[in-house]
Amino acid sequence: MGWLAYSGGHGTATAHASITPEIMIETGALVLEAPLPSDRRAATLLEVASLHPEPSLLRIQSIPGEGFSVLISSSASVFHALISHTLQSRTDSFRLTLNWDSTSGDGFLSIEHPGDDALFTRDLTRCIPMPGALILGALAEMRSADVAQNLSYIGFHQGPIHVGPSPTLDFHTPVLTPQGYRKIGAMKPGDTVISTSGDIVPVLGVFKKTTPAFGSYAPVRLRAPYFGLQSDLVMAGTQRLIVGGSNVEYTFGCDEVLIPAQHLINGTAAIAQPAIGTVTYFQLLLPENEAFIASELNLESLFIGRLRRRKDIFQRTSLSALPRNLLPEHAASASQILRPYEAITLAAMRAA
Residue 253 CB-half CA count within 13 A: 0
pLDDT tops 80 at residue 251: yes
Q: What is the mean pLDDT of residues 83-94?
A: 74
Q: What is the mean pLDDT of residues 259-269?
A: 90
C-alpha span between 334 and 115 (Å, rounded): 15
Q: What tens digit of pLDDT does each residue of 20-47 get?
A: 999 999 999 999 999 888 767 788 999 9
C-alpha span between 123 and 280 (Å, rounded): 28
**pLDDT > 90: percent of the chain:** 80
Looking at residue 25, its pLDDT comes to 98
Nearest Cα neighbor of 322 from 190, 196, 154, 146 is 190
Q: Cβ atoms within 10 A of the Cβ of 263, count?
A: 25
Q: What is the mean pLDDT of residues 270-276?
A: 90
Asked if 14 contacts 1 with a C-beta cutoff of 8 angstroms, the reply is no
Q: Which residues of 11-39 are buried (b: 16+ CB within 10 A; e: fewer)?
A: ebbbbeeebebebebbbbbbbbbbebbee
Q: What tens digit of pLDDT does each residue of 285-313 get?
A: 999 999 999 999 999 999 999 999 998 89
Q: What tens digit of pLDDT does each residue of 104-140 get?
A: 999 999 999 887 778 999 999 999 999 999 999 999 9
Which domains are seen in the chain, by residue range? 1-156 (2.60.120), 167-349 (2.170.16.10)
Burial of 247 (0-12, 13-18, 19+ CB in 10 A): middle
pLDDT tops 60 at residue 1: yes
Query: Strands 336-337 and 256-260: what pairing?
Result: parallel
Looking at residue 93, its pLDDT comes to 86
Which DSSP category does 338 fall into? P
Which of helix, strand or coil describes residue 233?
strand
Q: What tens digit of pLDDT does each residue of 206-241 get?
A: 999 999 999 999 999 999 998 889 999 999 999 999
Q: What tens digit of pLDDT does each residue of 154-183 get?
A: 999 999 999 999 999 999 999 999 999 999
pLDDT tops 50 at residue 90: no
Nearest Cα neighbor of 243 from 107, 132, 139, 347 is 347
Helices and strands (H, E) in the chain, number of each type:
5, 27
